[in-house]
Copies of this chain bind each other. A is one copy, B any other.
Amino acid sequence: MSAPRPAPLTGALLPPGSTLGILGGGQLGRMIALAAANLGYRSHIYGPDADPPAGQVAAAATIAAYDDEAALAAFAAAVDAVTYEFENVPAATVEFLAARKPVRPGAKALAVAQDRVAEKTFANGRGAATAPFRAVDSRADLDAAVAALGLPAVLKTRRLGYDGKGQAMIRTAADLDAAFAAMKGQPAILEGFVDFTAEISVVAARGVAGDVAVFDPVENRHRHHILDVTIAPAPALPAATALRAQTIAHDFLIALDYVGVLAIEFFVTADGALLVNEMAPRVHNSGHWTIEGAETSQFEQAARAALGLPLGCPLRRGRAVMLNLIGDDAHAHGRLLLAEGAHLHLYGKAEARPGRKMGHVTRVLTDDAVPAEAAIAALRAAVTPSAR
């Protein structure tokens, strides 16, 4: 109409109206799809489960197994780029899709994050400390590992663990047989016990052009091995430790030639050491606060990265607290809609099973008048009035 338009900034940038393929149809895929929609993009969900929560907000959904090559080929043909909401996507699935369309993050990051031994070896190779560990493939390996690391220690499957699943605490030699049996013959890892004072995490992103955006470190508190509360920024974390955690995230993104969102969980020990605990090559529960609490959410960063767009600004809009709604907690939605400052998110899951992540609620604090602990207590009181 008026002046001619300049060319797009980069050939990699997928134009609005393009379709983002998302492997996995749970709440993380759902929130990525919502963020992509805000930017004018369609989403296409792929996964084996009927009526995926993410399918309710996506332009298309394919219900098929991860090894169904006909379905995968049709999915690849229908989308313009692929990302995933969970790190246990079979490597063969990613390989099949990556031959057809960009898959972001790529296979290299996925391979590292899928295996606890590879993950810790990678971290140590980058100069980042972890708990001491040994690979355990046999009962003899376990005995040798215990001799090397001492007790207590934690035995974990190398793959497919989450929310405390596939883990066994070993306090004394009497626990060894049961712990080894609990691995059900899968390759395992023994991790030396870490006496930490806080668990923190950093969520960071890297775009196709190499741009990096790192959110502030947050503190995470768990209940029954499931994330309960996130506080942003992590309170009482020394500035040098916060910067060190962000620097590690930045370095990992570069080292893995990463495109997408990466979450790194750390232990902070009593003497101030920072130990990498786990990495997730995806958006992360500890980043949910960014929807209201940051200029750009982790979900928008994931969509931008996968679609070849530049990343957005990761700065905080204030302090934030996030409370997970597990199982029956979601029944408090009526009160949470009225709770001061509360931003309620429910995930569209039909059945509130115990331990199931049904939603979360975030409050952003823009002045110092309300301590984070008081904000958490107020949200918790809305979830369970009898606990007051």
Contact = CB atoms under 8 A, between A and B. Distances in A.
Interface stretch (A32-40, A103-111, A171-179): A32-40
A359 B328 contact: no
Interface string A373-388: 0000000000011110
A348 B40 contact: yes
B39 A344 contact: yes
Contacts of A8: 334
A310 B328 contact: no
A312 B337 contact: yes
Contacts of A359: 40
A13 interface: yes
Contact of A5 (B6, B9, B328): B328
> How many monomers of this protein are in the complex?
2
Looking at chain A's contact residues, the main secondary structure is loop
A188 interface: no
Interface of A: 1-6, 8-10, 13, 15-17, 30, 33-34, 37-42, 55-59, 295, 304, 309-310, 312-313, 317, 327-328, 330-335, 337-338, 341, 344-348, 350, 354, 359, 366, 384-387
A341 B295 contact: yes
Residue among A41, A310, A348, A387 with the most chain B CB within 10 A? A348
A40 B3 CA distance: 44
Contacts of A317: 317, 366
Contacts of A338: 9, 310
B345 A16 contact: no
A314 to B, nearest CB: 13
Contacts of A347: 40
28 contacts: A1-B354, A2-B386, A3-B386, A5-B331, A5-B332, A8-B334, A9-B335, A9-B338, A10-B334, A17-B350, A33-B57, A34-B34, A38-B345, A38-B346, A39-B337, A39-B344, A40-B330, A40-B346, A40-B359, A55-B59, A56-B58, A56-B59, A57-B58, A57-B59, A295-B341, A309-B334, A312-B337, A317-B317
